[in-house]
Amino acid sequence: MAEVKRASAQSSSNAKKAKGSNGFWVNLGIVVLMIAIAHILFYGVVGSADNFLDEEKTSPANWMGNLYQGGFVIPLLMSMLLILIAFVIERAIVIIKAKGKTNGAEFVRKVQYHLANKNVDAAIKECDVQSGSVGNVMKAGLLKYKEMINNTELTTDQKVLSINKEIEEAAALEIPMLEKNLVFLSTITSASTLLGLIGTVIGMIRAFAGMAQAGAPDATALALGISEALYNTALGISGSFLAMIFYNLYTTIIEGVTYSIDESGFTLTQSFAANYN
């Protein structure tokens, strides 16, 4: 029996490692794809000859032409913005699914009601209906709960510890999946601003270089430098602002799910101690 458990644990560990490895390559693929799309958009669409009044692309005809004057930092900022959008959508899908079909507090109350009536099977069915992270953790705990009811070898305290351990293991699988890829949002929050600042500084250098010309300042160089600085600033701040908003939104939702998971674990252990002491 011990060998079977060790084999099962080893299999689960290998599965998690394989899943993590696959996730890395998927994320890398998304990042590379977004960078490629951003550069195609910048050089193929934003930098199209239709957006300029001359072949040298020094006289913009519209805002896209002005954006093109922002220099080589602009496609990098566009890449960050597209990466942000991709992971905002990806996290939204995962978190909406994790929240389940019913409210966490309402779900816990229903489970408490069934456990008070010693109807464990009905409580397990509620988990299937909820079908979210809280439901998954609660179901794992309830299955162990049901197993412990008929166990005659362990004391009540040992049974409660066993149920609690099962809940903790289930939660350890669910919570990291919710927090996964949030690092992209938190990184973009600061990196986008700093990258935009680099573009701003480069633009200001160009502007001051235009002013430093002998005789009359080069108005074209001055205008291009200021345009480059402002567009980089605008894109950098916009990306940082959006990343910060969604990061805080998602972490708040995840904290709510985590609280419901903790509440569900407390409910099971307290219920078992009260009903099967």
Domain ranges of the chain: 72-275
Mean pLDDT over 206-225 rounds to 69
Q: What is the CA radius of gyration of the chain?
A: 28
pLDDT at 29: 93
pLDDT-derived band at 213 (thresholds 50, 70, 90) equals low
Mean pLDDT over 193-205 rounds to 89
CA distance 131 to 129: 5
The pTM (predicted TM-score) of the whole model is 0.82
pLDDT at 264: 84
Mean pLDDT over 2-17 rounds to 44
Mean pLDDT over 209-237 rounds to 75
Cβ neighbors of 97 (< 8 A, separation 6 or more) are 132
Quick one: what percent of the chain has pLDDT higher than 70?
88
- From 151-160, 217-226, 256-265, the region with the lowest mean pLDDT: 217-226
Q: What is the DSSP letter of 51?
A: G
Q: In the chain, which residue ranges form alpha helices assigned H by DSSP?
A: 2-40, 63-68, 73-99, 104-116, 120-130, 133-149, 156-179, 182-211, 219-275
